[in-house]
Amino acid sequence: MRSVDIETSLDEYVSMCKLQYKGNLRQLKTIEEFQQTYDAEHCLWWYSKEVFLYSILNRALRAGDIDTLYTFRFIIRDLYQTLQENKQFNQPILELYRGQALSVDELSRIEASIGQYISMNSFFSTSIKRPVALLFAQSTDTISSNLKPVLFHTRVNTQPPDTKPFGDVQKFSHFGEVESEILFLLGSVFRTQGIRFQNDEQVHIVDLELCGEQEIELKDLYIRMKTGIGEETNIKILGNVLKDMGLHNKALKYYQNLLKQLKQNDSSIQSCCYGIGQVKQLQGDYDGSLSYFQMVLGLESKFPSKDKIVPGFTHNYIGIAYHYGKNFDYSRALEHYRQAFDIHPKVKDREFIGTAYVYQNLATPYRALEDYDKSLQYHHECLNVKKELFGTEQDWSIAASYNNIGRVYHYKTDFRLALEYYKKASEIRLKTLPENHHDIAASFYNIAKVQKSLKDYRSAMEFSQRSLDLYTKAFGESYPLVIDLKEK
């Protein structure tokens, strides 16, 4: 039996489709059949079969059309859950392919983003069969002077649990084994590995690697704890998708509109407030996020969570709001960071990446309060957790921890130790990041400042120039730090 929300969402969607296909008797008949027979078990069959579903959905996703996406909340929920349930593979590594035509401008942007992350703004369909994908890429209907055939080659580790859902859908698909399709949820994130032109096949090949959330989150300027509240719902899935795609204004509008429609006794109010708070922090509105996270805590008595995960993460977000808000209230930030540490059931598990996040969050206010020894203690704890989890030092997030430790020693005026840790960060960044990455420029800048304090003016000038060159390449001549470095 369908829930009231699914019935409402389905009816809204069908009404929209009937308007779009008015006069098309064949499609209208299929839409009627869809309305009468659709269930979650057959969502992938319908998605692969009917243009009125996948075409409108993916067009709305690419355009960030909130009103249309809202009517799709039932199908997005069902696709998410089905892909999650079918994310089971015998092979540890999959080699997948997708063929399509891209504009010259799109190809150029990909070439310029080697080593960086791209988020798919629609469901991403791939095939195990390279010839099938190549056929799509070389389709004569799509190739022109401005459109080029492209074959995406995606290497996927099937084991990590923190990737967006993807699954083998051929047993559900209308096309069966013909395409041997692996479908990725919208918002899936890949790192571009390289691009080359294959002369014999006359196709551009783009190499991608699927990335997990753990890897992506550690690239934030500051570490946030990211989680959902309770079970995944229609509300949470669509809001998270918009947020993860970087459509922050759209996500905010979605949550705010939904909040107005929910009844006072609906537990989804808590999820909405949580989502709004997350988006506001992503937009840098820390003060604006505070009241929403406080509402989440206030609703705990009305809608108590089964464990302490919700209040644990919420205290962490409140700490971030005080920490980075206009008043920089470090004492209150520490109070909430400590509560997050004390009540979250998984924080003391050193195999949980959130443990590193909490240690780092605790370290920064202590530095601002000039309790440098305490700050160093937590930064080292954060570093040790990362080393245990990653099993290697050659990871850019390890470099971030070395950089943070160096900064504390710098504030402490222990310049020799500051230089030691800044150099460790620099060495790892040079090995793991694109050669013109701004984090490398930041390392050079930090080294230059310490060398100047040590009165090694020649080295200070050298690293300052290297920093200037990289910052200029990354951000241009008008970037404030570029102007500042030139003046010095």
How would you list the strands of the sheet with 93-103, edge to edge? Answer: 117-119, 189-198, 203-210, 147-157, 93-103, 124-127, 181-184, 166-168
In the chain, the percentage of residues whose pLDDT exceeds 90 is 27
Looking at every residue in the chain, the average pLDDT score rounds to 81
State pTM to two decimals: 0.60
Q: Are 423 and 452 in contact (CB under 8 A)?
A: no
Q: Which of 172-181, 212-221, 285-294, 435-444 shows the highest mean pLDDT?
A: 285-294
- pLDDT (0 to 100) of residue 412: 96
Amino acid found at 218: L
Overall size of the chain counted in residues: 488
What residue spans in the chain does CATH classification 1.25.40.10 cover?
275-487
- pLDDT tens sequence across 411-424: 999 999 999 999 99
Q: Which CATH superfamily is domain 86-213 in?
A: Toxin ADP-ribosyltransferase; Chain A, domain 1 (3.90.176.10)
Write the class of the CATH domain 275-487. mainly alpha
Distance CA 382, CA 356 (A): 4
Instruction: Return the SS3 of 160.
Output: coil
Among residues of the chain, what percentage have pLDDT more than 70?
84
Identify the bridge partners of residue 209 per DSSP, sorted by sequence position: 155, 191
Per-residue pLDDT at 401 exceeds 80: yes
Residues of the chain with CATH 3.90.176.10: 86-213
pLDDT (average), residues 93-107: 86
**112-121, 386-395, 449-458: least confidently modelled range:** 112-121
pLDDT 10s digits, 40-86? 888 888 887 766 677 777 777 766 677 777 777 778 888 888 888 87
Q: What is the pLDDT of residues 101-137, one digit of tens each?
A: 888 888 887 887 777 777 777 788 888 888 888 888 8
